[in-house]
Structure 1
Amino acid sequence: MSDKFIVGVDSGSQSTKVFIINQKGEVICSASEGLKPMMAREPGYVEHPDDDLWDSLKIVFRKVMKEFKGDAKDIMGLGLCSIRCCRVFMKKDGTLAEPVMSWMDVRSYKKYEDQPEIGYTCPTSGYLTHRLTGEFKDTAANAFQWQFPVDMDTWDWSKDDEYFNSFNIPKEKLLELQMPGTILGYVTEEVAKETGLPVNLPVVATANDKAVEALGSGLIEPNVGFISLGTYIASMVCGSKNEAAPSNFWTNLSCIPNKYLYESNGIRRGMWLISWYKGIIGEEYAAKAKSEGYSVEDYLAKEAVNVPAGSDGLLTIPDWLAPADQLYRKGVILGFDERHTRGHIYRSLLEGIALTLKNNYDAMIDELGIKPEKIIISGGGSNSDLYMQIFADMYGVKTVRNEINGAAAIGAAICVAVATGMYSSFDEAVKNMVKQKDEFIPNEENHKIYNKINSEAYRDLPKLMEETLKTVYKACN
């Protein structure tokens, strides 16, 4: 069979990425465009300026279609994956009534306040679907229960009047919901002219970005864990029912219809922490790394790989972005002495993220009564052999990564493959399109060290620091 192609969109918080992928899951070409810096007109506001999500998407479509050397007639569809937990207010004509609110914006989680100029409110996926197709439709799997009156059992708007009305959103201002793996609409002639995409190209429903990334990483079995190393870091396992009131995780709609993801508490501004460290380490260090043919991360990893597990007692609490209702919370690095180097600090940052997430992950799987046999790791951090080994050593199970790190784009492509009949099921599509690259086996001695550090010191550290951080916050504000 000759190659057929799929456009996979990964619209994120920091950049927009588009991949053209064949039915075997191979990337034919890709392009990206960085987003503009977020705006903050008032404390707690975090907005995407202008029409940045749509404008950047058009730019990347033009880039990738220029690079694509195949026949556009062989492109079967477009899978649209975009940021979760954002809030969009559209006018009746589908243009923005206000700047898109980031998932970090406190207003994204507040009760809707109706205004005449707002024709619709929706997640980013609904907005971008409309810009592409002219339809007022969206995937059900990007409507979150703390923002919209979605019924997590039926995957549709709730028919419970009391529950529905508690959100204060008029029904006519919500979009029509569809299941992942169905066609939402078709690329309009106007958009085709602006982007280079084929006119009438099917636009397929996916899910929220973490769920799409999980699917694109191959998370379809209950005995497997998943870690997404992004701006927001999360860990997940999959399940078959809506767990309505868990204590140590929350239930997310999967990218597979009527399936669920159980997600532990995560880390805000997770891998951004590494970007922060790179930014303050200095231009001289970056120039030295470049002169020797390394990225800054790889150069730091060269130093950190020789640092023992536990970073010689240097501990990091990766709380670099406080929740709006707990502004006293701050990141902490403690335990310095004369042994500590750049490599120690770098390793401690990595370990702090992994330890924090491990405690959340353990609480989740203990409540569920499961013990996954391996963990799939996705996101930019998984490019690091050092970090893959730290996760294996810390969690005590093998960690694996896939050939293609753009897991969200692969997940979006899988939805298209199912919607257009390239594969008969999500399972079949995953089997043919997701390919493991390598795996990392735990070092038992390091595993014992991490367990000792965690149980005797780290696990209680955030709680021990809480009163001190509150006192410092009061003194400085």
Structure 2
Amino acid sequence: MSGYLMGIDVGTQSAKVVIFQTDGKVLCSAQQPLRALAIPQPNRAEHPDDDLWTSVQQACRAAMLRFHQLGGQPHQLLAAGLCVIRCCRVLMRADGELAWPVINWMDVRLNQPYQHETAYGDVRWITTTSGYITHRLTGETRDTSANYIGCWPMDDVHQDWDNAQMTACNLRREQLFDVVRPGDVLGQVTSAAAKANGLPQGLPIVATAHDKAVEALGAGALADDEALISLGTYIGAMVHGDETPRSSDHFWPFQAALPQRFLYECMGVRRGMWTISWFRDQFGAAAVQDAQDRGIDIESLLSAEASRVPAGSDGLITLHDWAAPAHASWRKGAIIGFDGRHTRAHLFRSLLEGIVFTMKNHLDPMMQALERPLAQLVISGGGANSDLFMQLFADIFGVPARRNAMRSSAAIGCAISAGIAVGVWQQYADAVAALVQPGETFMPNAAHHAHYQQLNQQVYQQLHAALDPLLQRLSPLA
């Protein structure tokens, strides 16, 4: 079946819309940044106004404008797969409008069951971000079963609501949307949504899963010995599992974007790529002119400088706890080992190395618990554009690290789900073969790997034990 498929991928920092030809080529795309999160008080984080829906509208309109300019006709757009950031909570009124700004995954309220606050007003529906955007697009009160993570009464095995969990989650069935499985059609674009977004009226909107699961599908990370590292505001690592979920102290099972499959995910890095943006924005001003003089962006300049720094950043170590975990709210980030040799390049490289060390120390125990070898990493997200970052993953893990030609794996995963739903492909393997185009593979440097192993075992893995007592005493003083 010839035509076009759309992926709608809404993350913490932007909404991206990509239109693919069914032969796998990208026809056009558009991206709309989200506004900065509102922090009304400590440990709370909300998306201002109706920012998620506004960004989707703007990205869809821009992509459709380009689609028409390139000769695309509305009837040629076969379906759109929808993926929106996970672990958020949306409170809606009966008329479909927000009763309260979307509560982001970094908000402490999401660590516990829903508690109604008087300020919320009249709340009719409690749903996820994917449920909310689905309703905006289709008018349906339906959602993917695979985006209910945390304090939700979801039976992941049967992919439906579990009435026995309702009381513990402080929810009633009538407050919740109906759910469908990944790959099912959620509904069709309404006339009102078509006017707001520029999408064809009647376009099927297809359910995917939570954002990391959709990335894993779109990255082609399907083999048992292959793990995906997703470089986003939250950096996660995951592998696909079989039909029966397993549990462990080292990972959690979630519904995958593949039907009747599970995704195993270990702990990651909260505010992971945010840390890189923070460094650029806070300390990159002096490098702006240098970057302009060379005709490159500031990230490329910083990466080039950091590539000339020795492995291990001459003893500069960064501990990534910029957003503390729920079980240790007093933790803070730390950078130790400064001396007179260190420059901005050392600090930038140390930030990257700290991310990779953290991910290795979470991913290795998961693979051991699953009794699987780790043969290859697949790196997804904008950070995969950095040759330095890619090489660090290979060197610190000691295995090849691959990036795909298109770094936005979630958009590909959306298009795969959409294509399966409308019959473009019968098998997921065929869809992956058509849309996932492998890029470069970075091989580990044996000498660097040996040095990083020593740093990790002798220093990095000991940091929490050494710093936690001090940070606990610092917390009330800060």
Q: Which amino acid aligns with 1:248?
A: H
Q: Which amino acid aligns with 1:389?
A: Q
CA distance in 2, matches of 1:430, 1:195: 28
CA distance in 2, matches of 1:450, 1:24: 42
Deviation larger for 16-25 or 80-89: 16-25
Q: Give the 3-state SS of the residue equivalent to 2:82 in structure 1.
A: strand
CA distance in 1, matches of 2:153, 2:326: 23
Task: Note if 1:390 corresponds to 2:392.
Answer: yes
Cα shift at 1:282: 3.9
Contact 1:82 1:209 in 2 (8 A): yes
Cα shift readout 1:86-125 (whole Å, capped 9, x = no counterpart): 0001112221111100001111232123588211111100
Deviation larger for 285-294 or 238-247: 238-247
- 1:369 match: 371
Cα shift at 1:243: 3.3
CA distance in 2, matches of 1:164, 1:462: 37
Q: Give the 3-state SS of the residue equivalent to 1:118 in structure 2.
A: coil
- 2:247 match: 245
- 1:70-469 aligned within 5 A: 70-113=72-115, 117-144=122-149, 146-159=150-163, 161=164, 163-323=165-325, 326-469=328-471
Contact 2:166 2:172 in 1 (8 A): no
- 1:472 match: 474
In structure 2, runs of 5+ residues without a counterpart are none
Cα shift readout 1:187-239 (whole Å, capped 9, x = no counterpart): 00111112211110000001111111111100222121110011000111110
Cα shift at 1:147: 2.0
Contact 1:87 1:123 in 2 (8 A): yes
Contact 1:233 1:271 in 2 (8 A): yes
- 1:37 match: 36
CA distance in 2, matches of 1:26, 1:129: 26
Cα shift readout 1:146-183 (whole Å, capped 9, x = no counterpart): 22100111011114x2x332112110111111111111
CA distance in 2, matches of 1:462, 1:185: 48
Name the TM-score, length of structure 2 as normaliser: 0.96
CA distance in 2, matches of 1:465, 1:288: 37
Q: Give the 3-state SS of the residue equivalent to 2:35 in structure 1.
A: coil
Cα shift readout 1:264-296 (whole Å, capped 9, x = no counterpart): 101100011111111122423112212211111
Contact 1:391 1:399 in 2 (8 A): yes
Q: Give the 3-state SS of the residue equivalent to 2:291 in structure 1.
A: helix
Contact 1:19 1:29 in 2 (8 A): yes
Contact 1:44 1:324 in 2 (8 A): no
CA distance in 2, matches of 1:284, 1:334: 23
Q: Which amino acid aligns with 1:121?
A: I
CA distance in 2, matches of 1:132, 1:474: 46
CA distance in 2, matches of 1:455, 1:423: 47
CA distance in 2, matches of 1:246, 1:94: 39
% identical aligned pairs: 44
Deviation larger for 454-463 or 204-213: 454-463
Q: Which amino acid aligns with 2:265?
A: E
Contact 1:58 1:195 in 2 (8 A): yes
Contact 1:217 1:411 in 2 (8 A): yes
Cα shift at 1:4: 1.1
- 1:12 match: 11
CA distance in 2, matches of 1:341, 1:45: 35
Cα shift at 1:474: 2.8
Cα shift readout 1:430-469 (whole Å, capped 9, x = no counterpart): 1111010110111111110111111111111122111111
Cα shift at 1:242: 4.1
Cα shift at 1:244: 4.7
Contact 2:86 2:210 in 1 (8 A): yes
- 1:51 match: 50
Q: Give the 3-state SS of the residue equivalent to 1:21 in structure 2.
A: strand
Q: Which amino acid aligns with 2:307?
A: V
Deviation larger for 24-33 or 350-359: 24-33
Cα shift at 1:20: 0.8
CA distance in 2, matches of 1:358, 1:410: 26
CA distance in 2, matches of 1:93, 1:219: 40
Q: Give the 3-state SS of the residue equivalent to 1:61 in structure 2.
A: helix
Task: Note if 1:22 corresponds to 2:21.
Answer: yes
Contact 2:81 2:208 in 1 (8 A): yes
CA distance in 1, matches of 2:25, 2:107: 36
CA distance in 2, matches of 1:143, 1:319: 25
Q: Give the 3-state SS of the residue equivalent to 1:47 in structure 2.
A: coil
Q: Give the 3-state SS of the residue equivalent to 1:76 in structure 2.
A: strand
Q: Which amino acid aligns with 2:97?
A: T
Q: Give the 3-state SS of the residue equivalent to 1:271 in structure 2.
A: helix
Contact 1:114 1:169 in 2 (8 A): no
CA distance in 2, matches of 1:345, 1:24: 43
Cα shift at 1:470: 1.5
CA distance in 2, matches of 1:39, 1:263: 28
CA distance in 2, matches of 1:217, 1:320: 27
Cα shift readout 1:370-408 (whole Å, capped 9, x = no counterpart): 112111000111100111011001111101010111111
Contact 1:152 1:242 in 2 (8 A): no
Cα gap change, 1:260 to 1:324, in 2 (>3 Å): closer
CA distance in 2, matches of 1:22, 1:58: 22
Cα shift at 1:324: 5.2
Q: Give the 3-state SS of the residue equivalent to 2:328 in structure 1.
A: coil
CA distance in 2, matches of 1:282, 1:142: 37
- What is the alpha-carbon root mean square deviation over aligned residues? 1.4
CA distance in 1, matches of 2:115, 2:15: 30
Cα gap change, 1:114 to 1:340, in 2 (>3 Å): closer
CA distance in 1, matches of 2:259, 2:99: 31
Q: Give the 3-state SS of the residue equivalent to 1:165 in structure 2.
A: coil
Contact 2:221 2:227 in 1 (8 A): yes
